[in-house]
């Protein structure tokens, strides 16, 4: 699949995610397009956001499994884990085991 098949799909979409005031779930709004969705859990919300985008941009069902919008992760914990993964390459492990 080439990106040219879907020239109308933006590379990034700003999604505002909020927790319901009563703590019962999540609300996501795509402000640029004046649409929103909601879900009980973060995992469900990710699915609902993708479904919303598929509907909004009329992505055919056969391509929906190949096109996925993922949230940008700015979590400090994630950055630390990513750094640990980089340090744990086979070469660096060998230095510590065989020194």
Domain of residue 63, CATH code: 3.30.160.250
Q: Is residue 14 part of a domain?
A: yes
Q: Is residue 81 part of a domain?
A: no
Pick from 41, 86, 39: which is nearest to 51 by CA? 39
Q: Note the pLDDT tens digit of each residue in 34-89.
A: 999 999 998 899 999 999 999 998 888 988 888 887 777 666 655 555 555 544 44
d(CA 52, CA 15): 11
Q: Is residue 11 part of a domain?
A: yes
Give me the pLDDT at residue 11, please: 80
- Provide the sign of the torsion angle of the four alpha carbons 31, 36, 38, 41, taken in this order: negative
Give me the pLDDT at residue 83, please: 53
Q: Is residue 85 part of a domain?
A: no
Number of domains in the chain: 1
Domain carrying residue 38: 3-71
Q: What is the pTM of this model?
A: 0.65
Give me the pLDDT at residue 52, please: 94
- Provide the sign of the torsion angle of the four alpha carbons 62, 7, 44, 85, taken in this order: positive
Give me the pLDDT at residue 21, please: 87
Give me the pLDDT at residue 79, please: 55
């Amino acid at each position: 699949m080439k990106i040219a098949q879907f020239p109308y799909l933006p590379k990034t979409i700003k999604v505002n995610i909020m927790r319901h005031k009563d703590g019962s779930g999540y609300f996501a709004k795509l402000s640029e397009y004046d649409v929103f969705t909601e879900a009980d859990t973060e995992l469900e919300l990710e699915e609902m956001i993708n479904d919303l985008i598929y509907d909004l941009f009329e992505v055919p069902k056969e391509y929906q499994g190949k096109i996925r919008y993922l949230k940008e992760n700015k979590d400090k914990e994630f950055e630390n884990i990513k750094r640990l993964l980089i340090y744990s390459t086979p070469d660096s492990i060998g230095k510590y085991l065989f020194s």
